[in-house]
Amino acid sequence: MLFMITMGSTFLMAKSTTLSGAIYLGFVAFCGWSGVDAINNVYDVDLDVKSDPLRADYTKNLGRTGLCISLIFFALSMSLGAITGIQLVTVFVFIGILAGVVYSVPPFRLRQTIYKPLVNFSVGAVPVLMVAAFFDVFSVEILVLLSLIGVSTAVNSLWEDLADYKSDFNAHARTILIVLGFKRGLYFTIIMGYSLIPLMILVGILFKLSILYFVILAALICYISLRLVQNRHLLVGGSSANKESLLKLGEAFAKDFVIIALVHTTNLMISGYLTYQQVILI
């Protein structure tokens, strides 16, 4: 997803279909996040035993190799950033890696705190800032794009918490869902998801994306809205909606949002490419 976010941001900021530059910067972001994901798996292994047993077993079998893999990806991402010769690019890559470390590694371990969405904001914001530094483009349009991507990855972390609620609760984590209570947290997550719609529309308008972008966006909104309507008896139900049913619904919504996030980032990337390809042809 971050690879596509970075490529899409490259097309929008360069206002051209610079595939080589987009792929290169996308690979820088991909390596950085791969390192973050690897180190998170190392420190999440006890939680994954319940929420994702296969991943937990795989991480345990890796042993110290898992930590080595994360360090290799970190080094690769920093090296690729440094090769650009733009210091600000390297700085933003380092900030992204630092955010990933405090997200996962004790004693910080912010993934188990109420600050988790703030750290996840950087997951999306850093690649956009990295691309902006590469092209030396900082404007209101870029600020809106940065806000959309950053808030998207922050909200994505809330949706992920729906699936991780049991393991987080047993681990005495203090995520937003646990602090608010699952049902109120579920409502909050849904509201935050819909809050992205104005930003998505604004990005499409500011960057003059094609009608395809808005058609796919409308389809995604209809899809999640239909899923909410289908499960309204659980969402608005009183005592009849038992917690176990709500937890299963949360897990289903978490999977739905993964699909939505992937489709939207793909939509943003392809729409940016097609828009500026048309401009070049004209």
All domains of the chain in start order, with CATH: 2-281 (1.10.600)
Of 59-63, 172-176, 191-195, the poorest mean pLDDT is in 59-63
| Contact by Cβ (8 Å): 59, 41 | yes
| Contact by Cβ (8 Å): 255, 223 | no
pLDDT number for residue 241? 57
Tokens of 48: 């994954």
pLDDT (tens digit per residue) in 187-231: 998 998 899 999 999 999 999 898 999 999 999 999 999 999 998
Buried b (16+ CB within 10 A) or exposed e, 162-174: bbbbebbeebebe
Residue with tokens 């917690």: 243
Q: What is the band of 258 on the pLDDT scale with cuts at 50, 70, 90?
A: confident
* 140: DSSP letter: H
pLDDT number for residue 281? 46
pLDDT number for residue 222? 95
Q: How far is CA 21 from CA 72, 96, 179, 282, in A?
A: 23, 20, 43, 22
In angstroms, the CA 249 to CA 228 distance is: 10
pLDDT number for residue 238? 57
| Contact by Cβ (8 Å): 124, 96 | no
Nearest to 143 by CA among 128, 123, 124, 153: 128
pLDDT number for residue 138? 87
Residues 6 or more apart from 93 whose CB is under 8 A from it?
Answer: 28, 32, 77, 78, 81, 126, 130
Packing angle of the helix pair 211-230, 182-206 (nearest 10 deg): 170
Nearest to 277 by CA among 15, 5, 9, 4: 15
Q: How many helices (H) and strands (E) does the chain have?
A: 14, 0
- Cα first-last separation, the chain: 30
pLDDT number for residue 282? 46
Residues 6 or more apart from 195 whose CB is under 8 A from it?
Answer: 151, 155
Ranges of H-type helices in 136-242: 140-163, 165-170, 176-180, 182-206, 211-230, 232-235
Q: How many CA atoms does the CB half-sphere of 173 hold within 13 Å?
A: 26
The angle at the Cα of 104, spanning 103 to 107, to the nearest 5 degrees, equals 95
Q: How many CA atoms does the CB half-sphere of 8 hold within 13 Å?
A: 26
pLDDT number for residue 210? 87
The predicted model scores a pTM of 0.85
Percentage of residues in the chain having pLDDT higher than 70: 95
In angstroms, the CA 213 to CA 20 distance is: 23
| Contact by Cβ (8 Å): 45, 56 | yes
